[in-house]
Structures are given as structure tokens and as C-alpha cells.
């Protein structure tokens, strides 16, 4: 799934197609030309084009249906690999009432403290940054403290959204095309303002998830999600051998 050798016919075409999907040139729902047509356009046999489309489908980028053709898939919010759900869905799945409360929203470069929190480089916290902080509730109890910065150069629409009503994560999920994310997970003893906001005693164990999301090479958003320790559990499942 990482960089591959693109020096084959179908490899180059696969690269081109997946790039078009990832960067939004072919948005979700876009209907691709039919197999034979694409094969003719690219001057390859149908078998070769089929290899490309079959791979795209098995990677989840497109949905193929007989008769109706091949369409770009709707990006899914979940992965079979690591279930870090949309927080709203997560709370709902527990049968609880979900609520989101925006605590602060700030254009420009944000507090130095927030930049450190999100491990941002200097050039990643420029003028085109939107800093947000808010709380996810489960049955009116704090469930997750979110601190986030959004690159408004990549997602200019974010400036027009009222994040008191729209949950940033969900909004981004629905707005952006395909993404790539990197997570850092660790345990910390909560303190200070974080503890106050989460209504936890100082020192309570919390799960800190730092998530950096990007489209192609450009970062889009960084989020720090702080979950009261035992309340939250990450689940990951693997094939192949990872560790014992």
C-alpha cells in the first residue's frame, strides 16, 4: 500500500487512477468510462485495463457493478484494520446520547501551547490555520477532549462552517476526498486544564491519540484526542505476523 514500482503498463495506469481519486479529480460517485473504452483510450488490451480496475476495486477505491459500470467509492469512515470510529457513532453505538460543544475557535497561528501539543512544525502553523477545541459528551459526561488545527489552504470551506453545530471530525470526513492518516497513541496522566475539562482528577490515566491526516503530500488536519483512560479502548486486528 505504500510506494510501489510503477514501471509496468498497468502499474502506471493504476497510479494515475488512484491519484485522480485521492486528489478529488474523480470525486466519489464519478462514473468511469467502461472497461473497453478505457482500454482503447490507453491503447492497452482489455485484460490489462481489467487488472487496473480490479485492483482499484479490491483496494476499495471504486465499486464495480455489472451493467451500471465502475464508480468511485464513497470513502468509508471506518477501516477493517483499526477501528477508530467517528466519535459520534462511537457514542451512539454505546447507546448513549451524543453531544458536541465547541470551546474555542481561532484563526491564525493559535497558542504556542497548542502548536506544541500537536507537534506542529513552524511552517505548519501559518496564517492559514484554524485552531479548534471542543468536547465530545456521552450522556452529558465528557467523553473526549479534542484539540485540532485545520489547514485552511487545503480546506478553505472550513472557514465558512459553524463548528458549534458541525463536529469538525465528521464535517472533514464528509468534505474531504480520500486521506492518509498517521496515529500516535500513548498513555498520559492528565493534568491542568485537560483534567478540568474532562472532569477528571489530576493524574487519571488518559489515552492520547494524535492523528495527522493528509491528502497526498499535504497535511490537512492534526487532531489530539484525549480519552478518559478506561473509558476508551482501541481495537486493532491484523493478518500476517506482527508481533506475539
Partner DNA sequence: TAGTGGTCTAGACCACTCC
Partner DNA sequence: GAGTGGTCTAGACCACTAG
Region of 36-44, 70-78, 108-116, 136-144 interacting with a second copy (CB under 8 A)? 70-78
State the minimum distance, in angstroms, from the CB of residue 20 to DNA. 16
* Nearest partner of 151 among 212, 84, 210, judged by Cα: 212
Residue showing cell 489547514: 151
Looking at beta carbons only, is 63 or 181 nearer to DNA?
63
Among 93, 203, 216, 218, binds a second copy (CB under 8 A): 203
When CB distances are held under 5 to 8 angstroms depending on the partner's kind, the choice from DNA, a second copy, none that residue 29 binds is none
Among 169, 194, 198, 224, binds a second copy (CB under 8 A): 169
Please report whether residue 217 would count as binding a second copy according to CB under 8 A. no
Please report whether residue 88 would count as binding a second copy according to CB under 8 A. no
Looking at beta carbons only, is 36 or 189 nearer to a second copy?
189
* Nearest partner of 31 among 90, 71, 91, judged by Cα: 71
For residue 37, with 0-12 CB atoms within 10 Å meaning exposed, 13-18 middle and 19 or more buried, which class applies? exposed
State the minimum distance, in angstroms, from the CB of residue 111 to a second copy. 22
Please report whether residue 236 would count as binding a second copy according to CB under 8 A. yes
Please report whether residue 3 would count as binding a second copy according to CB under 8 A. no
When CB distances are held under 5 to 8 angstroms depending on the partner's kind, the choice from DNA, a second copy, none that residue 221 binds is a second copy
Q: What are phi and psi of 111, to 5 degrees?
A: -70, 145
State the minimum distance, in angstroms, from the CB of residue 207 to a second copy. 4
Q: Kindly state the helix (H) or strand (E) to which residue 143 belongs, with its residue range.
A: strand 141-151
* Contact in structure between 206 and 190 (CB atoms under 8 Å): yes
In residues, how long is the chain?
244
Please report whether residue 221 would count as binding a second copy according to CB under 8 A. yes
Grid coordinates given for 153: 489552504
Give the Å distances, CA to CA, from 232 to 23, 83, 98, 166, 185. Answer: 33, 12, 15, 23, 12
State the minimum distance, in angstroms, from the CB of residue 67 to DNA. 4
State the number of CA atoms in the 13 A half-sphere of 197 facing the CB: 23
- Site residues for DNA per CB under 7 A: 8-11, 32, 34-36, 43-48, 50-51, 53-54, 57, 64-70
Looking at beta carbons only, is 41 or 89 nearer to a second copy?
89
* Contact in structure between 143 and 136 (CB atoms under 8 Å): yes
* Nearest partner of 134 among 154, 171, 105, 161, judged by Cα: 105
Q: Which residues bind a second copy (CB under 8 A)?
A: 1-2, 59-60, 75-82, 84-86, 168-170, 172-173, 176, 178-189, 203-208, 211, 213, 220-221, 223, 227, 229-230, 232-244
Amino acid at each position: 500500500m505504500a510506494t510501489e514500482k510503477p514501471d509496468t503498463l498497468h502499474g502506471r495506469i493504476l497510479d494515475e487512477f488512484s491519484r485522480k481519486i485521492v486528489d478529488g479529480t474523480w470525486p466519489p460517485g464519478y462514473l468511469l468510462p467502461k472497461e473497453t473504452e478505457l482500454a482503447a483510450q490507453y491503447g492497452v488490451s482489455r485484460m490489462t485495463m481489467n487488472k487496473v480496475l480490479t485492483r482499484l476495486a479490491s483496494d476499495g477505491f471504486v465499486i464495480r457493478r455489472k451493467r451500471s459500470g465502475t464508480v468511485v467509492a464513497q470513502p468509508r469512515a471506518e477501516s477493517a484494520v483499526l477501528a477508530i470510529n467517528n466519535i459520534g457513532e462511537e457514542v451512539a453505538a454505546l447507546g448513549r446520547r451524543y453531544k458536541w460543544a465547541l470551546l474555542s475557535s481561532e484563526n491564525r497561528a493559535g497558542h504556542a501551547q497548542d502548536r506544541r501539543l500537536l507537534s506542529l512544525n513552524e511552517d505548519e502553523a501559518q496564517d492559514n490555520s484554524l485552531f479548534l477545541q471542543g468536547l465530545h459528551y456521552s450522556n452529558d459526561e465528557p467523553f473526549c477532549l479534542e484539540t485540532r488545527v485545520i489547514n485552511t489552504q487545503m480546506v478553505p470551506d472550513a472557514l465558512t462552517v459553524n463548528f458549534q453545530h458541525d463536529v469538525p471530525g465528521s464535517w472533514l470526513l464528509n468534505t474531504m476526498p480520500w486521506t492518509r492518516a498517521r496515529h500516535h497513541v500513548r498513555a498520559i496522566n492528565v493534568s491542568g486544564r485537560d483534567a478540568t475539562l474532562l472532569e477528571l482528577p489530576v493524574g487519571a490515566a488518559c489515552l492520547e491519540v494524535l492523528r495527522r491526516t493528509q491528502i497526498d503530500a499535504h497535511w490537512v488536519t492534526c487532531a489530539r484526542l484525549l480519552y478518559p483512560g478506561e473509558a476508551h479502548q482501541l481495537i486493532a486486528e491484523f493478518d500476517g505476523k506482527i508481533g506475539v
